[in-house]
């Protein structure tokens, strides 16, 4: 584009009004599109306005003539139109005055002590960047002089970005130097003719619809055709709902040696220094975000593009440079692909960023700046030889902004061979320490690039030595423990110490350590006679009872490994587990036999076969080592079948030893056990107290699910240690628990919500959040919750456990960056039973250990290290979730849904449409010609035949088609929020017939968040579960004055049935009260 001559008289429009008190309006010109965008942004408030404050400092050493300097500044204002410009009230017109006087105050600080002087100077500089400009009335340029010493002054010059960009300062400062020097020498300085902002603005308007401008716009639209990536740079805190501008700056220096090496590499590969360091910056972003497709904003000076080198104004164009980065490529190969892309972008720089954003289809997100949250600019510093202030030593530098438009703005300024990275950052998102850490990582990456540009991007070093040392220190968890002891031997040792102490209490039964040991020994001898020994799997399907503890201990003492089988599981699932584990002996109870599937195992009933079991009382001869299996627990499997996790004695003993020390359990404690044996937390619940001489108090499944009954058990047992899931803690709170000062509270099984932690903290002795998958023996990390306002992490690795947070190429990620959590150490399972391929996939060789036998477990969990060494859990990488303490593979549910002959497609996700109410939602597409509502009405019953209740979705929703991503995959984020009206319920709706039915139906509708509830609707099929059940029970008790229990809801899960029970209870209560009233009438007052 070439600049055409502009006829001032014919082109510029004079106006007959003067909004300025100190200057005659000379002319007006149209504001450029970029200026209009800034003007619109400024309307958001003072913070947004101040984000455009461009403040610079001139340090002047020597004999400064202050009056001459003030005059030079006034001449500078007169010379450049931009410094005399303001804007019309609508932001569409530049108003340029013929002359403008600006006050240039002199601030005297030379008489102050050094510390006080620095403090006052910092306040002055802060005020400069925090004081907004008035775009309508101006001025939009200001100056002040601070006297620091007789021979040292600081000139602070500040302009609004709407009339001054980075190039402009490189024009203004040499001009100011020449003007000052000319005044000193009494001569008129030789200055080139300035270019005029008004001419530039008119040319921009004239060129707006030119073929070249249209082609440029099409170029940029094509760059983002199809999709627009969102750069999600990791922050210390979540983005506020509305974008903020609060900012600070950290400067980082890259040595001349590194800069020279980068330039040499660029030259060798045919790239400029700008392209080389930009390529390094893009790779750094790729490594920190894990994104292959990203956009970086690059400012380009419009003055250079038009040849108007002496133009002061806002002429910068923001180029959204998109790149695709693949970790398998070398940096050298990547850089060579960037050369043409960067040149193309500069060739198409004459466009406005705002107009591009308007034309792109971008999702609305008020928390982010669109398209380019991060800016990278390479600048050449104004060295003193370009600043001709006669008789003065001059240093020019920028002042940090207090507000910033972008999440991160890095201005890389080269000066005397080194590169200074001026990092402006949003303080609502980042801490200063984090920015310094990120810059150290960037420097490490750049050194790695120059050392080996042929290294693939994924393997380039990014962790500085200090960070590597920190990560190694956090994993130094080596602790002594009894490696050669089995679980049951810990118990046997304790029996010798406290034989008469109470070991286990269940309801009105209790048993001492000696008695428990003898009964377990009898069972063990009997099992050995049936062929049970090391590596033999024994099924255990019993209710929570003393027999359960005897059964577990007996199996271990016999040398076998137990396989817990939950009698509430569907028959099909139990059949698979029995077959997969090849169980030869199955311990159960008489009343549970009829619910078991067909199998080949020999059944032993612990309640009715004890006469046959009555073998020797002594401990059996050890036939098992700590490397043998202790138990196999089945967890949800993504292929549609559960998978058996094999845990050895040594792993469990290490865990028990660690937890006994911290959070800590002693012989003085009482542990209240509430967890199903099929859940690996039960291993700790049973064996932790029995290994230290504590008392184990078991409650039944019914009590554990009813907050009121559980509260009673907690109170009467005097429990000092409890380790349930968050759901159970909520049950207790909902039941009115006021706290137990002596109680160590452990939350486990799923993430501990902050609001729940805040409620729990004052109610017990301490609160811990423990994390770990079944595959690494119950728990791997622990976090003591101490404050009510800090995010809840999963803490630090437990004894003899190592945590690695790695990227997709198994490289450690920096502190604060998310990656997949891998676990190493003593807790690792042997693997999955009969699943060698899956074992090899999830248990990988440890790349950080010299021991070839060392392994890591790939958890699939997303996490990051925090600067204090604690770990923050961020969710699942795949589609495995934890819900109400249960680990669920969503793929297993989807597989089961697809087995229904009328379901064509199925997707299951977890939603939290109501705060703290997470639920499984199943989306289906029915086969052609099928009635979707009819299909949905069948699905819950269909799934219950194959899956445990906790894996059956709360809500089903039929779709005509699944939403898809551009690459054809199901877009899970686009799945719609379920409709509270639940149309599949309306098809079978029967309205309440009585006031009691109506009240119960209303309570259910409120708790379950559904539009209406019919009298035949099943509470659990509507999506109810224990926590919601306790709310229903509590509200029914209050509203209807009927003492129903949680167990009543399980027995009577429909409105009609529950209403009938309530009416019976109320009738009975009224009858008793009437009888008491009649009896009371027969007594004199005082005799009753």
- Kindly report, residue by residue over 777-814, the tens digit of the pLDDT: 999 999 999 987 777 899 999 999 999 999 999 999 99
Cα–Cα distance measured from residue 380 to residue 420, given in angstroms and rounded to the nearest whole number:
10
**Predicted local confidence at residue 987, as pLDDT:** 54
- Tell me the CA distances in angstroms from 350 to 359, 411, 1059, one per residue in order: 16, 21, 74
Q: What is the dihedral of CA 482, 484, 490, 492, to 10 degrees?
A: -140
Measured CA angle at 841 (ends 840, 842), to 5 deg: 95
Cα–Cα distance measured from residue 839 to residue 823, given in angstroms and rounded to the nearest whole number:
14
Axis crossing angle, helix 707-717 with helix 1026-1040, rounded to the nearest 10:
100
In our burial notation (b when 16+ CB lie closer than 10 A, e otherwise), range 545-578 reads bbbbbbbbbbbbbbbbbbbbbbbebbeebbebbb
Phi, psi values for residue 566, rounded to 5°: -80, 120
Q: Which 3-state string (H, E, C) describes 625-660?
A: CCCCEEEEEEECCCCCCCEEEEEEHHHHHHHHHHHH
- Which one-letter DSSP state was computed for residue 373? S
Coil/strand/helix, residue 116: helix
Binned at pLDDT 50, 70 and 90, residue 12 comes out as very low
CATH number for the region 209-232+244-384+397-462 comes to 3.30.559.30
Element (H, E) at 783: strand 781-785
pLDDT tens track for 257-275: 999 999 999 999 999 999 9
Contact by Cβ (8 Å): 85, 39: no
- In which residue are the tokens 């893009």 written? 282
- Tell me the CA distances in angstroms from 374 to 39, 295, 326, 510, 967, one per residue in order: 21, 8, 20, 66, 27
Q: Which top CATH class is 479-693?
A: alpha beta
CA 1058 to the chain's CA centroid: 42
Q: Identify the bridge partners of residue 423 per DSSP, sorted by sequence position.
A: 250, 410
- Does position 1043 have pLDDT exceeding 70, yes or no? yes
Contact by Cβ (8 Å): 104, 143: yes
- In which residue are the tokens 């219950």 written? 944
124-133, 507-516, 718-727, 1038-1047 — which is least confidently predicted? 1038-1047
* Average pLDDT over every residue of 933-946: 81
Contact by Cβ (8 Å): 349, 302: yes
- Does position 17 have pLDDT exceeding 60, yes or no? no
* Average pLDDT over every residue of 32-45: 90
Strands, E, within 606-731: which ranges? 629-635, 643-648, 670-673, 695-698, 721-722
Q: What percent of the chain has pLDDT over 90?
A: 68
pLDDT tens track for 306-320: 899 999 999 999 999
- Does position 640 have pLDDT exceeding 90, yes or no? no
Contact by Cβ (8 Å): 479, 800: yes
**Predicted local confidence at residue 1080, as pLDDT:** 36
Cα–Cα distance measured from residue 375 to residue 409, given in angstroms and rounded to the nearest whole number:
5
Q: What percent of the chain has pLDDT over 70?
A: 93
pLDDT tens track for 815-861: 999 999 999 999 999 999 999 999 999 999 999 999 999 999 999 99
- In which residue are the tokens 């001569």 written? 187
pLDDT tens track for 64-75: 999 999 999 999
- Does position 6 have pLDDT exceeding 60, yes or no? no
- Which one-letter DSSP state was computed for residue 713? H
- Does position 10 have pLDDT exceeding 50, yes or no? no
Q: Which 3-state string (H, E, C) describes 549-578?
A: HHHHHHHHHCCCEEEECCCCCCHHHHHHHH
Domain 898-1064 listed as CATH 3.30.300.30? yes
Binned at pLDDT 50, 70 and 90, residue 980 comes out as low
Cα–Cα distance measured from residue 1033 to residue 1004, given in angstroms and rounded to the nearest whole number:
10
- Does position 675 have pLDDT exceeding 50, yes or no? yes
Token pair of 287, please? 């490594």
Topology at the third CATH level for domain 8-201: Chloramphenicol Acetyltransferase (3.30.559)
Largest CA distance in the chain: 125
Cα–Cα distance measured from residue 631 to residue 649, given in angstroms and rounded to the nearest whole number:
8
- Does position 1088 have pLDDT exceeding 50, yes or no? no
Q: Identify the bridge partners of residue 28 per DSSP, sorted by sequence position.
A: 13, 95
- Which one-letter DSSP state was computed for residue 86? E
Token pair of 1070, please? 């009224």
* Average pLDDT over every residue of 933-958: 82
- Does position 457 have pLDDT exceeding 80, yes or no? yes
Asked, colleague to colleague, whether 479-693 and 898-1064 share their fold, the answer is no
**Predicted local confidence at residue 2, as pLDDT:** 31
* Average pLDDT over every residue of 906-918: 82
**Predicted local confidence at residue 752, as pLDDT:** 87
Mean pLDDT computed over every residue of the chain: 90
Cα–Cα distance measured from residue 767 to residue 995, given in angstroms and rounded to the nearest whole number:
44
pLDDT tens track for 548-604: 999 999 999 999 999 999 998 989 999 999 999 999 999 999 999 998 998 889 999
In our burial notation (b when 16+ CB lie closer than 10 A, e otherwise), range 661-677 reads eebebeeebbbbbbbeb
Count CA atoms within 13 Å of residue 154 on its CB side.
Answer: 22
Cα–Cα distance measured from residue 237 to residue 244, given in angstroms and rounded to the nearest whole number:
13
221-230, 641-650, 759-768, 974-983 — which is least confidently predicted? 974-983
**Predicted local confidence at residue 4, as pLDDT:** 30
- Does position 41 have pLDDT exceeding 60, yes or no? yes
Strands, E, within 325-453: which ranges? 374-380, 392-398, 408-415, 418-426
Token pair of 65, please? 């003539």
Strands, E, within 573-623: which ranges? 585-588, 602-605
- In which residue are the tokens 């960047």 written? 129
Cα–Cα distance measured from residue 91 to residue 43, given in angstroms and rounded to the nearest whole number:
10
Interacting residues of 691 by C-beta distance below 8 A, sequence separation 6+:
487, 490, 491, 494, 656, 660
- Does position 1081 have pLDDT exceeding 60, yes or no? no
For the chain, first and last CA: distance in Å? 108
Spell out the domain ranges in the chain.
Answer: 8-201, 209-232+244-384+397-462, 479-693, 898-1064
Which string of DSSP letters, residue by residue, matches 489-513?
Answer: HHHHHHHHH-TTSEEEEETTEEEEH
Cα–Cα distance measured from residue 898 to residue 912, given in angstroms and rounded to the nearest whole number:
24
Count CA atoms within 13 Å of residue 267 on its CB side.
Answer: 6
8-12, 822-826, 940-944, 969-973 — which is least confidently predicted? 8-12
Token pair of 1, please? 């584009």
| Strand pairing report for 766-771 and 744-747 | parallel
**Predicted local confidence at residue 986, as pLDDT:** 55
Coil/strand/helix, residue 295: strand
Token pair of 574, please? 């139990």
- Does position 542 have pLDDT exceeding 90, yes or no? yes
* Average pLDDT over every residue of 227-253: 90
Contact by Cβ (8 Å): 322, 295: yes
Contact by Cβ (8 Å): 884, 725: yes
Binned at pLDDT 50, 70 and 90, residue 983 comes out as low
Cα–Cα distance measured from residue 957 to residue 979, given in angstroms and rounded to the nearest whole number:
8
Cα–Cα distance measured from residue 117 to residue 926, given in angstroms and rounded to the nearest whole number:
76
């Amino acid at each position: 584009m070439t600049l055409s001559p502009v006829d001032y008289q014919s082109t510029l429009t004079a106006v007959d009004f003067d909004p300025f008190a100190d200057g005659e309006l000379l002319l007006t010109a149209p504001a450029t599109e970029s200026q209009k965008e800034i003007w619109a942004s400024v309307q958001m408030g003072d913070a947004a306005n101040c984000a455009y404050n461009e403040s610079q400092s001139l340090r002047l050493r020597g004999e400064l003539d202050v009056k001459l300097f003030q005059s030079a500044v006034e001449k500078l204002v007169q010379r450049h139109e931009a410094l005399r410009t303001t804007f019309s009230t609508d932001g569409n017109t530049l108003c340029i005055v013929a002359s403008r006087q600006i006050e240039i105050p002199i601030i005297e600080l030379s008489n102050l002590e050094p510390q006080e002087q620095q403090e006052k100077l910092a306040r002055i500089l802060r005020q400069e960047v925090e004081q907004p400009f008035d775009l309508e009335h101006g001025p939009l340029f200001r100056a002040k002089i601070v006297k620091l010493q007789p021979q040292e002054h600081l000139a602070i010059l500040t302009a609004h970005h709407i009339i001054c960009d980075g190039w402009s300062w490189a024009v203004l400062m040499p001009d100011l130097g020449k003007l000052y020097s000319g005044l000193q020498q009494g001569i008129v300085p030789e200055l080139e003719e300035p270019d005029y902002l008004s001419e530039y603005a008119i040319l921009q308007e004239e060129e707006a619809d030119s073929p070249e401008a249209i082609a440029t716009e099409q170029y940029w639209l094509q760059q983002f055709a199809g999709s627009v990536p969102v750069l999600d740079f990791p922050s210390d805190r979540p983005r506020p709902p509305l974008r903020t501008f609060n900012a600070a700056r950290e400067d980082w220096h890259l040595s001349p040696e590194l800069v020279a090496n980068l330039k040499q590499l660029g030259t060798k590969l045919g790239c400029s220094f700008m392209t080389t360091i930009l390529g390094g910056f893009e790779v750094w972003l790729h490594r920190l975000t894990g994104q292959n497709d990203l956009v970086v904003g690059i400012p380009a000076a419009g003055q250079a593009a038009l040849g108007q080198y002496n133009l002061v104004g806002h002429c910068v164009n923001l180029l959204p440079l998109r790149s695709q980065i693949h970790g398998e490529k070398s940096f050298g190969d990547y850089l060579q692909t960037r050369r043409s892309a960067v040149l193309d972008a500069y060739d198409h720089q004459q466009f406005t960023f705002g107009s591009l954003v308007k034309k792109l289809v971008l999702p609305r997100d008020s928390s982010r700046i669109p398209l380019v949250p991060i800016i990278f600019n390479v600048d050449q510093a104004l060295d003193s030889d370009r600043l001709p202030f006669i008789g003065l030593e001059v240093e020019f530098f920028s002042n940090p902004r207090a507000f910033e438009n972008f999440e991160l703005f890095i201005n890389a300024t080269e000066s005397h061979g080194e590169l200074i990275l001026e990092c402006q950052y949003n303080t609502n998102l980042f801490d200063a320490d984090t920015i310094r850490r990120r810059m150290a990582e960037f420097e490490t990456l750049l050194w790695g690039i120059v050392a080996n540009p042929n290294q693939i991007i994924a393997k380039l070093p990014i962790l500085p030595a200090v960070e590597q040392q920190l990560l190694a220190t956090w994993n130094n968890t080596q602790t002594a423990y009894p490696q050669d002891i089995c679980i049951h031997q810990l118990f046997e040792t304790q029996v010798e110490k406290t034989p008469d102490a109470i070991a286990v209490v269940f309801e009105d039964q209790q048993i001492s350590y000696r008695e428990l040991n003898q009964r377990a020994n009898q069972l063990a001898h009997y099992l050995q006679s049936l062929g049970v020994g090391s590596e033999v799997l024994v099924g255990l399907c019993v209710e929570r009872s003393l027999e359960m503890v005897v059964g577990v201990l007996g199996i271990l003492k016999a040398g076998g490994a137990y396989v817990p089988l939950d009698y509430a599981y569907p028959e099909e699932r139990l059949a698979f587990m029995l077959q997969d584990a090849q169980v030869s002996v199955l311990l159960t109870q008489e009343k549970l036999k009829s619910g078991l599937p067909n199998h080949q195992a020999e059944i032993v009933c612990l309640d009715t076969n004890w006469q046959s079991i009555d073998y020797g009382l002594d401990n059996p001869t050890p036939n098992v080592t700590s490397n043998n299996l202790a138990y196999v627990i089945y967890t949800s499997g993504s292929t549609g079948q559960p998978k058996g996790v094999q845990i050895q004695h040594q792993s469990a003993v290490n865990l028990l030893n660690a937890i006994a020390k911290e959070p800590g359990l002693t012989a003085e404690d009482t542990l209240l056990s509430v967890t199903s044996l099929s859940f690996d937390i039960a291993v700790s619940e049973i064996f932790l107290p029995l290994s230290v001489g504590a008392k184990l108090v078991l409650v039944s499944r019914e009590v554990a699910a009813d907050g009121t009954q559980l509260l009673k058990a907690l109170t009467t047992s005097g429990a000092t240690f409890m380790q349930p899931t968050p759901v159970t803690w909520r049950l207790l709170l909902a039941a009115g628990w006021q706290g137990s000062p002596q109680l160590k509270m452990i939350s486990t099984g799923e993430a501990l919500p902050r609001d729940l932690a805040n409620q729990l903290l004052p109610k017990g002795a301490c609160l811990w959040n423990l994390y770990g998958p079944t595959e690494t023996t119950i728990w791997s990390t622990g976090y003591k919750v101490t404050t009510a306002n800090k995010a809840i992490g999963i803490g630090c690795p437990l004894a003899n456990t190592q945590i690695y947070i790695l990227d997709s190429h198994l490289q450690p990620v920096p502190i604060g960056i998310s990656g997949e959590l891998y676990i190493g150490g003593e807790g690792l399972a042997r693997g999955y039973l009969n699943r060698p391929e899956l074992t090899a996939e999830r248990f990988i060789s440890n790349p950080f250990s010299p021991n070839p036998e060392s392994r890591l477990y790939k958890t699939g969990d997303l996490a990051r290290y925090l600067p204090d060494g604690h770990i923050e859990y961020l969710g699942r990488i795949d589609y495995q979730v934890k819900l109400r303490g249960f680990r669920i593979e969503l793929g297993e549910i989807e597989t089961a849904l697809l087995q229904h002959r009328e379901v064509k497609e199925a997707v299951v996700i977890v939603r939290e449409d109501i705060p703290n109410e997470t639920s499984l939602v199943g989306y289906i597409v029915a086969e052609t010609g099928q009635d979707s509502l009819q299909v949905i009405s069948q699905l819950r019953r269909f799934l219950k035949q194959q899956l445990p209740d906790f894996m059956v979705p709360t809500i089903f929703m039929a779709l005509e088609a699944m939403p898809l991503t551009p690459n054809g995959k199901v877009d899970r984020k686009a799945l719609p929020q379920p409709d509270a009206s639940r149309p599949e319920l309306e098809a079978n709706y029967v309205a309440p017939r009585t006031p009691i039915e109506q009240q119960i139906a209303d309570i259910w509708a409120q708790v379950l968040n559904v539009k209406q509830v019919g009298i035949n609707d099943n509470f659990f099929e509507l999506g109810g579960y224990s926590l919601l059940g306790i709310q229903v029970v509590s509200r029914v008790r209050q509203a209807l004055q009927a003492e129903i229990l949680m167990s009543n809801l399980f027995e009577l899960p429909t409105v009609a049935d529950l209403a009938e029970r309530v009416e019976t209870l109320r009738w009975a209560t009224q009858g008793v009260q009437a009888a008491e009233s009649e009896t009371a009438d027969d007594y004199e007052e005082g005799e009753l």
